[in-house]
């Protein structure tokens, strides 16, 4: 199973770019890497997903190196509303899912 490791917390200021890196231990060949965002008292929400190289959508970019042992979620020009907990998930074989403890991002004015 793919265990994930992320920083516990990060601080940033409005307008800055934030990069959160996740390490995936033993990620399987056919696993995708998925990131979720969670606000207090809400369920996690899908942000972005990728398999290799770079993926970009209207919310974020995801960078995955060739060895796929890590991934970096990039949030461009964060705002106060981006304050949340961010989880990376190795979508695992065997159909179990393993979430890390998440990264608490705090955006300051």
Partner 1 sequence: EAQVTQNPRYLITVTGKKLTVTCSQNMNHEYMSWYRQDPGLGLRQIYYSMNVEVTDKGDVPEGYKVSRKEKRNFPLILESPSPNQTSLYFCASSLSPESRNSPLHFGNGTRLTVT
Q: Which residues in this chain contact partner 1 in the complex, by CB under 8 A?
A: 30-32, 34, 36, 41-46, 49, 51, 87, 89, 91, 95-102
Q: Which is nearer to partner 1, 47 or 75 (CB)?
A: 47
Comparing C-alpha atoms, which of 39, 63, 24, 57 is closest to residue 47? 57
Exposure on the CB side of residue 53, measured as CA atoms within 13 A: 2
Beta carbon of residue 35, minimum distance to partner 1 (angstroms, whole number) = 10
Q: Which is nearer to partner 1, 43 or 109 (CB)?
A: 43
Beta carbon of residue 96, minimum distance to partner 1 (angstroms, whole number) = 6
97: three-class secondary structure by DSSP: strand
Q: Which is nearer to partner 1, 16 or 85 (CB)?
A: 85
Beta carbon of residue 5, minimum distance to partner 1 (angstroms, whole number) = 11
Beta carbon of residue 105, minimum distance to partner 1 (angstroms, whole number) = 15
Determine the Cα–Cα distance for residues 95 and 109; give it in Å rounded to an integer: 41
DSSP assignment of 32-54, as one string?
A: -EEEEEE-TTS--EEEEEESSEE
């Amino acid at each position: 199973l793919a265990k994930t490791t992320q920083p516990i917390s990060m601080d940033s200021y409005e307008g800055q770019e934030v990069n959160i890196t996740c390490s995936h231990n033993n990620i399987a060949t056919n696993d995708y890497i998925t990131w979720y965002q969670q606000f207090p008292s809400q369920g996690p929400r899908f942000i972005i997903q990728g398999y290799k190289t770079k993926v970009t959508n209207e919310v974020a970019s995801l960078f995955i190196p060739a060895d796929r042992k890590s991934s970096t979620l990039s949030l461009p020009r964060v705002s106060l509303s981006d304050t949340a907990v961010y989880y990376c998930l190795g979508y695992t074989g065997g159909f179990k899912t393993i979430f890390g403890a998440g990264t608490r991002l705090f955006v300051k004015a």
